[in-house]
Structure 1
Amino acid sequence: MMRRRTTTLLSGCTAVLLALGATACGGGPVAAGGGDKALSGQTVTVAGVWTGSEQKNFQKVLDAFSAKTGAKTQFISTGDNVSTVVGSKIEGGNAPDVVMVPQVGVLQQFARKGWLTPLSATAQRTVTADYAPVWAKYGSVDGSLYGLYFKAAHKSTVWYSPDALTQAGVKPPKTYDEMLKAGHTVADSGLAAFSVAGQDGWTLTDWFENIYLSQAGPQKYDALAAHRLKWTDASVVKALGTLGTLFKDKQLIAGGQKEALNTDFPGSVEKVFGPKPEAGMVYEGDFVAGVAHDQFGRTVGKDANFFPFPPVAGGSAPVVSGGDAAVVLKDGKNAKAGMKLLEYLATPEAAAVWAKAGGFLSPNRKVALSSYGDAVARATAKSLVGAGDSVRFDMSDQAPAAFGGTKGAGEWKLLQDFLRDPSDPKATAAALEAAAAKAYKG
């Protein structure tokens, strides 16, 4: 989310992890605008949440588009509250042409307000041919395809210190129960099993989502994400109980529940990969690698590695993702040129520009696995792209922000309360349902 944007913690170092080559499988790259400077003299404005290295790397993509088409580009950083910023710009008659939307719920909101233009036939053909159908699903509203997913995150990765697991004599686990058992063995060797970033409520939603997707299955996950299933359902109570087993075990969480509630996401990575390790493992998305490398000098694949979030109670291994979708606003001054940018972003050529700089993962199947720079990156990409339609978008990002994306409120706060006291999953489920019902109604 990232969000709540943890992707902003990625930087150029992650080229080691997620570097893509410029070569695509299955034919040559598609030239935006025909490569004939057809957009010379036009300016495309693009709004998105990115700052820092992410903004700089996306600018490289925009520069490549400019070199091909002759169009100038202007990037506007919105901060996390994309909806408010874009809405105010539309009202002020200064709408951007393209917005990089980080949440499905926001994309749906924009579409239902009538702000968006459906993807061109060219972009739609590319999505159909080169992406798993699930990405079209999350980019569509009421049967129309509005969003092109350019950048993705893999949120079903558990990162660990190979030294810590080796010292404890354990191997990466294959099931959730094995993971907890391995955690106790790690704890017996002198380190806590997990570092948990409870200060950031979004990390707790990610824990829940992986457990729920595996334990309850994709159909119930989809129903809960759309609030067609109530949070008081027995499947939710069961998943909370599974999560609570971890939360209440003082051997498993570094510093116990109280310290977890005072640990933010970067701090949780530091407890595993920093100079004074306190835990052997930390759960979060592929962006953990960027923090481990950039801030703590860890070499990804050598002294920082991951295993897939393991299946729970006989279910399938979950693959939860997040991502940024490019959309074209109707009120943009140059929406036609904006659509040409989307057609370019759909190509492996465009993905390769950012991928070379690092900190990037593409959901485009035409970006060959052999283009990734190392075994860890190939495994990450294979897991995400290979999951096909079993990928599920981060549930809290599909919810109204009042429930799934607001600090100190809704799901974030209620799961923090549950971390503090996981003794009554049924009561927590009831509180979640009350908050969800209010938010979805609004």
Structure 2
Amino acid sequence: MPGTRRRRFRHAGAGTAAVLALCLTVACGGGGDSGNGDAVTELPDLTGKTVQVAAVWTGSEQKNFKKALQEFEERTGAEVEFVPTGDNVSSFLSSRIEDGSPPDVAMLPQVGVLQQFAEKGWLKPVDDATYRQMLMNLETGWHDLGAHEGTTYGVYFKAANKSLVWYNTAAFEKAGASEPKTWKDFLDTAQRLADSGVDPVSVGGADGWTLTDWFENIYLSQAGPDMYDRLAAHEIPWTDPSVEKALTTLGDLFGEEQLLAGGNDGARATAFPESVTKAFSDLEDPEAAMVYEGDFVGVNITSDTDAELGTDAKLFPFPAVGGGQPPVVTGGDAAVALKHSPGAHAMMTFLASEDAARIMAEQGGFLSPNKSLDTAAYPSDLQREIATALLDAGSTFRFDMSDQAPAAFGGTKGEGEWKALQDFLDNPDDVAGAMLALEDSAAKAFDD
């Protein structure tokens, strides 16, 4: 994980903070009302200014984010324009930057892209006011992820807990199954479910990113955080014995066709949204009993099925593997400033604050890395449980490995890690072939 050994960061000078006059209301005695009586972050008067914020978000996610942006407008007098990036955030922003028309702030969903943009000099360091908010509200690990060569550029606004297994409670009750704590227990539970007449595990193998998440959770728990960091940085090859061990462990599931919904062919043909509905569309006679993926599965359940979260659909942490600790793999979106302007810096400070996190959390379907946010802000017990698990990890979590890699290896459909692991799903006995394919692709991507 980039920067995990760094604990000191450079940021913009104190003069910027003075110009923006940004401070905490509780410290500066300013006014303002967040609507719930809590102290709010004071922001400068930006009347007549336009602030553009670019993000990939669509649908309800975009709608909810616009409510937070509306709060920024009301506090500053600025007009905020949401700029949709489309799925290829990197290409969209690169084009805008090279054309001389970048948005003020952008949300980057991949650490690798943040590193690449910082290397090119496209990002502006956070100023003092934003950095103070980060010190109060974000664990050091999130600072590390937003830094490049000791300078802090990114504010992690949205997080994902990608170490969750969701299950159909009726299927578990019918099989007499309980929530497993270890990988061995998980496989035994899957077999019990298969014996009861339901396919145990739904895998969205048509989307290669889901397979990277399976691997990462197993590897983090089995090999440990230090080895995870080394593999993420390609300091060790994908032919390392630790990779062989993790793939062999994953093959204990992928190599047992009766444990996969639709077998290997069915898993390979199933897209992520369908992998969720297989477990929860028909509650009494589901196509699968469990589906692994992050907290965002809850949004798919509520929007695409009639299952009730916390009743029909429950979850348990990804099980510990090989005597290791239960893994906590995260994803997330970092806000970065692409312009050195009062509006850009004010937006960055707002997004680093508890205030913006609360607005998003209260609407549901959102997980914040902000440790100052009271989990009571989340609208359900299940969401509070997910948030608590992430916050309890402190700085021991690890960020999605594929999102840290160059996009050619970790984030391109039909190529790199996605393709190699899809091939492994097709043929889980070929551990050696998967390792060679992964290393060949990684070597090329990291050398570019």
TM-score, scaled relative to structure 1: 0.91
Partner residue of 1:301 out of 310, 314, 328: 310
Cα distance in 2 for partners of 1:290, 1:434 equals 36
Q: 1:384 aligns with which of 390, 404, 408?
A: 390
After TM superposition, give the deviation of residue 22 of structure 1 in Å. 7.5
Q: Report what 1:29 is aligned to.
A: 40
Shifted more, 292-301 versus 134-143: the winner is 292-301
Residue 51 of structure 2 is aligned to residue 44 of structure 1: yes
Assess if the C-alpha contact under 8 Å between 1:157 and 1:285 holds in 2: yes
RMSD: 1.4
Cα distance, 1:279 vs structure 2: 1.1
Distance between the aligned counterparts of 2:430 and 2:126, measured in 1? 46
Query: Contact (CA 8 Å) 2:202, 2:260: kept in 1 or not?
Result: yes
Supply the AA of the counterpart residue of 1:112.
Answer: E
Whether the 8 Å CA contact 1:104–1:398 is kept in 2: the answer is yes
Query: What is the match of residue 419 of structure 1?
Result: 425
Give me the whole-angstrom Cα distance separating, in 2, the residues matched to 1:358 and 1:263: 27
Q: 2:439 aligns with which of 426, 433, 437?
A: 433
Equivalent position SS for 1:75: strand
Give the conservation status (yes or no) of the 8 Å contact 1:139–1:325.
Answer: yes
Does residue 208 of structure 2 align to residue 206 of structure 1?
no
DSSP 3-state at the match of 2:95: helix
| In 1: Cα distance, 2:361 partner to 2:43 partner | 18
* Alignment correspondent of 2:9: none
1:131-170 equivalences in 2 (<5 Å): 131-170=138-177
Are residues 1:365 and 2:371 paired?
yes
Q: Deviations over 1:55-86 (max 9, x none)?
A: 11111111100000111111111112111111
Is there any run of 5+ residues in structure 1 with no aligned partner, and where? 1-20
For 2:333, the equivalent position in structure 1 comes to 324
Q: Quick one: distance in 2 between partners of 1:217 and 1:277? A: 35
Question: What displacement does 1:238 show?
Answer: 0.3
Aligned to 1:12: none
* Corresponding residue for residue 243 of structure 2: 236
Task: Give yes or no for contact 1:414–1:428 (8 Å, CA) kept in 2.
Answer: yes
Query: Matched residues in 2 for 1:438 and 1:380: separation?
Result: 37
2:255 to 226, 238, 248: 248
Are the aligned partners of 1:22 and 1:371 in contact in 2 as well (CA < 8 Å)? no
- SS of residue matched to 1:279: coil
Structure 1 CA distance for aligned equivalents of residues 406 and 234 of structure 2: 10
Report how far residue 424 of structure 1 moved: 2.1
Instruction: Give the distance between the partners of 1:266 and 1:71, measured in 2 at CA.
Output: 38
Alpha carbons of structure 1 residues 260 and 75: separation in structure 2 relative to 1, 3 Å: same
Q: Check the 8 A contact 1:22/1:353 in 2, yes or no.
A: no
| Pairing 1:265–2:276 present | no
Number of residues paired by the alignment?
A: 413
Q: Look up the match of 1:353.
A: 359
> Aligned partner of 1:344: which letter?
F
CA contact 2:68–2:360 (8 Å) conserved in 1: yes
Give the one of 333, 336, 347 matched to 1:341. 347
Query: Is 1:74 aligned to 2:81, yes or no?
Result: yes
CA spacing shift, 1:112–1:157, aligned 2, 3 Å? same
Distance (whole Å) between structure 1 residues aligned to residue 36 and residue 260 of structure 2: 43
Does the CA-based 8 Å contact 2:364-2:379 persist in structure 1? no
Choose the corresponding residue for 1:375, options 370, 381, 392: 381
Q: Given the alignment of the two structures, is residue 124 of structure 1 paired with residue 131 of structure 2, yes or no?
A: yes
How far off is 1:371 after superposition?
A: 2.7
Aligned position for 1:310? 319
Superposition deviation, residue 217 in structure 1: 0.3
Gaps of 5+ in 2: 1-33
What's 1:8 paired with?
Answer: none
Q: Deviations over 1:13-64 (max 9, x none)?
A: xxxxxxxx9869xx7222232xxxx110000011111111111111111110
1:372 Cα shift? 2.6
What is the letter of the counterpart of residue 321 of structure 2? V
Query: How many Å separate the matches in 2 of 1:335 and 1:185?
Result: 59
The alpha-carbon distance between structure 1 residues 431 and 301, as it changes in their structure 2 partners (threshold 3 A), is: same
Amino acid at match of 2:344: G
* 2: CA distance, partners of 1:61 / 1:376: 23
SS at 1:149's partner residue? strand
User: How far has the Cα of 1:249 moved from its partner?
Assistant: 0.5
**CA offsets per residue over residues 206-255 of structure 1, 9 Å max, x none?**
00000000000000101111111111100000000000110010221011
What's the CA shift for 1:299?
Answer: 0.8
Instruction: State the one-letter code of the partner of 1:94.
Output: S
The separation in 1 between residues aligned to 2:413 and 2:154, in whole angstroms, is: 26
Letter in 2 for 1:231: W
